[in-house]
Structures are given as C-alpha cells and as structure tokens.
Structure 1
Amino acid sequence: FFAEVGFPCPPLRNPSDHFLRCVNSDFDKVKATLKGSMKARIERSDDPLDKITTSEAIRKLVSAYNRSQYYYAAREKVNDIARIKGTVMDSRGSQASFLMQACTLTRRSFINMSRDFGYYWLRLLIYLLVTVCIGTIYLDVGTKYTSILARAACAAFVFGFVTFMSIGGFPSFVEEMKVFQRERLNGHYGVAAFVIANTISALPFLVLICFMSGTVCYFMVRLHPGFTHYIFFVLNLYASVTVVESLMMAIASV
C-alpha cells in the first residue's frame, strides 16, 4: 500500500522503521536540525520522505486509503463483527463475603508489613534510639514542681517525633495503594474491606512501637509513678500515632 501511494520502502531499510518514518512528525524536527549539514545528501536522495513533511505524507496516505480496496475490506469486516451477537458479561465482582475479603486482606497486609523492613521495623529501631537519647537528656527529672517544664518538653518531643516519623511508612503504603487500585477496579474488594484490613494488620506494629518506645522514655525520665499513669502515657502515644497513620493513608490515597 505504501509503495502504491508513492512511499516505497528503500532497500536496506527496516520496513517498520520506514512506516514509522511516514507517520511520525518527530523526524521532521531531526531533519530540520540537520538541514544544513545534510542538505546535499537530501537533494541527492531518492526517498520521497526527505522532500515533504510528515503531515503532507499523512494527508496523502489517508486520502489514498479512503479510496483503496483496503478501506472497503476493513469496513466490511467491521460490519460483519458488529452483526455478531454475543452474551454480555455480568460483572458482579468478587463472590467472597465481606468477612472473607477483610480476613484475606488482613493476612496479606500483615505478611507484607512483616517482610518489608522499611514499613515498621526500621521505624521501631529509630524510635528506640531516639527515646533512649531523650531519656538520657531528661534522665530522672523527677516529679517536683520545678521539673514541670522539663517533663512537658520531654512529652512534647516524644509525641512530636513519634507522630512525625509516621511519614516513614509513606513509600511502602503508596506501593500498596497501586495494588489496591488495580484490584478494586477488577471488583475483587471494596474500600471498606481494605481500610479495615490495613488498620487491623497495622495494629500489632503500632502497639509494639508505642509500648517499647514509651516504656523506655517513661522509666528513664521517671515520670509520675503508677501503672495507670504509665498506661495513660502509652495509650496517648498510640492514639496520636494512629491518627497520624490514618492521615498518612488519606493523603497517600489522593
């Protein structure tokens, strides 16, 4: 067809490269850039593409195709296919129950978090190192009236740093979101099952992080004695981290 229109493939040229050269306007930019240095070569060339632009070649090809037998054969083939009646696929999504979806996603997400060192394990090590440093800075400040500012500064630093470091799981969660978007479009599960599964699978890691880092800081600084005070401190730390993790998930899903 290209030869009939006036664009035969030159000898020693790859046919696919020749066809691409006929319809790709990027080659015009290359030809314009090398116009001065290749002027004599272009004038001696027998390739018609060297003498016209790609847009002109496309118009010529389209005009010739609309009058060719290939066009009518293709139209006839399309009409034959359109007349074939087939069954419409009923896309009902996943046949699994919501509970099964949530359980499967929870197990898969937990395994993924366990194997990915940068998801929670690296953050746990960083939290422990930082809380040890904080504990040495505010070591045994006591519970006297004069140490109120020191205890407040210690708590603010711990809560601020631990919540700020939740951004460390952002890259791993973004990769997980790519899988979620593809599987959701295929109808395997919905948003609710994914959110519940991700929250439950992250729960043990967040509890471990908060209890270990909170325990180190609490007893090194020697905050108010008593189990209830200790649990209150750790639970507040866990609540703060959970909120920031949720915000991180919301931002990553945009």
Structure 2
Amino acid sequence: MYRDLGYYWLHLAIYITLCLCVGTIFHDIGFSFGSIQARGSRLMFVAAFLTFMAIGGFPSFVEDMKVFGRERLNGHYGVGAFVVGNTISSIPFLFMISLIPGAIAYYLVGLQKSLGHFAYFVILLFTTMILVESLMMTVASIVPGFLMGIITGAGIQGMIMLNGGFFRFPNDLPKPFWRYVMYYIAFHKYAN
C-alpha cells in the first residue's frame, strides 16, 4: 500500500506526545468528586483525539484508491481483497497506537491498576480506531478530493462526537433523528 513506515512513526510520535501531555496534566488529580469529572473528561478526550487523528491518513487512502482502481481494471484483485488487505495491513499500527499511547494516558492518570481494566481500555481504543479507519476508507471511495474528503470525515466524526453521550445526555438529545439514529451509531457512546 501507499503508506510508508515514516507515516506510521510520525503518527505514533504525535500520539505519544499528546498522551504524555494529557497524562501529566491529569496526573495525581486525587479522588474527590471533581476528579471523577476530570477522569471522564480525560477519557473522552483521549478517545476522541486518537480517533479524530485518523483523518490524517485520508490522503494515503485516496492514493490507495487510485492504485486500486487501476489494478482492479487490470483484473488483479477485487474490492473484497482490497478492503481485507488494507484492514489487515493497518492492524499492527492501530494496535501499537492503542497500546503505547493508551498505556501512557491510562497509568499516568491513575486509573484502575488491574490488567483487565487496562486491556478493556486498549481494546476499546483499538476497535474505535479500526472503525474510524473504515469510515475514512468509505469516505475516500465516495469523495476523491483530499480537502473535501478530510472536511467530510471531520464533519461526520464531529456529529458522532456530539451525539456520543458526553456533551449531552441521551435523554436530552432531540428525538427522533439525534437520539434514535445518531446516538446509537455514535461509536463514542461506547467509548464513554
């Protein structure tokens, strides 16, 4: 695929830097009532930021789609093989992004020390990252321009974040569309 190792290492460095910042800002916040809100805010920020940064991979998706279009016309492989291959090639990097920056942000804040809670946190980050990569692949197949694709992907994620249950409680969301459609497909609902 089009992405090279420099792309992956740069993104990983950005994720690690941000999670170090978040971890040190929220380090040793105590166990008061206000710390509960602070931990919730931190969890939402980490989940939202890590998934929102997946938009940065959009230009490489567009390049992949150009290569795929030519190779499909030549009969080399079909849509299913492209989607599966692209997904499998992303899995190690997405897992590294979920594990390393996730560990920094998780343990610096002082969340549950058990391995089970941490594993749940990493798996949750990993699945949301896979979901956003799939969303951006779908957007790349519909919107071929770099700028319009990034804007479209950011807009979709923004709507999903607003309806995830953090900014407005589910019972406060206007019915029917925002609550019964958008709230249930918002992946940040599950991250929260």
Are 2:135 and 1:231 equivalent residues in the alignment? no
Pick aligned residue for 2:63 from 172, 175, 179: 175
Residue type at the aligned position of 2:124:
N
Q: CA deviation at 1:132?
A: 0.4
**1:132, 1:138 → 2: CA distance?**
10
Pick aligned residue for 2:92 from 200, 204, 219: 204
Kept in 2: contact 1:140–1:221 (CA 8 A): yes
Structure number with higher relative contact order (C-alpha < 8 Å, ≥ 6 residues apart): 2
**1:208, 1:162 → 2: CA distance?**
12
Are 2:29 and 1:125 equivalent residues in the alignment? no
The alignment's TM-score, normalised by the length of structure 2, stands at 0.70
Task: Evaluate the alpha carbon distance shift between residue 153 and residue 162 of structure 1 in structure 2; reply closer, same or farther with a 3 A threshold.
Answer: same
Aligned partner of 1:34 in structure 2 is none
Q: Percent identity?
A: 51
Equivalent residue runs for 1:73-222 within 5 Å: 109=1, 112-113=2-3, 115-118=4-7, 120-143=8-31, 145-222=33-110
SS of the equivalent of 1:253 reads helix
Q: CA deviation at 1:140?
A: 2.4
SS of the equivalent of 2:112 reads coil
Computed over aligned residues only, the root mean square deviation of the Cα atoms, in angstroms, reads 1.4
Kept in 2: contact 1:142–1:223 (CA 8 A): no
Are 2:113 and 1:241 equivalent residues in the alignment? no
Q: CA deviation at 1:144?
A: 5.2
Q: CA deviation at 1:141?
A: 2.5
Kept in 2: contact 1:142–1:221 (CA 8 A): no
Kept in 2: contact 1:143–1:224 (CA 8 A): no
Q: CA deviation at 1:121?
A: 2.0
**2:73, 2:31 → 1: CA distance?**
56
Q: CA deviation at 1:245?
A: 0.6
Instruction: Give aligned pairs, total.
Output: 142
Unpaired segments ≥5 residues, structure 2: 143-192
The alignment's TM-score, normalised by the length of structure 1, stands at 0.54
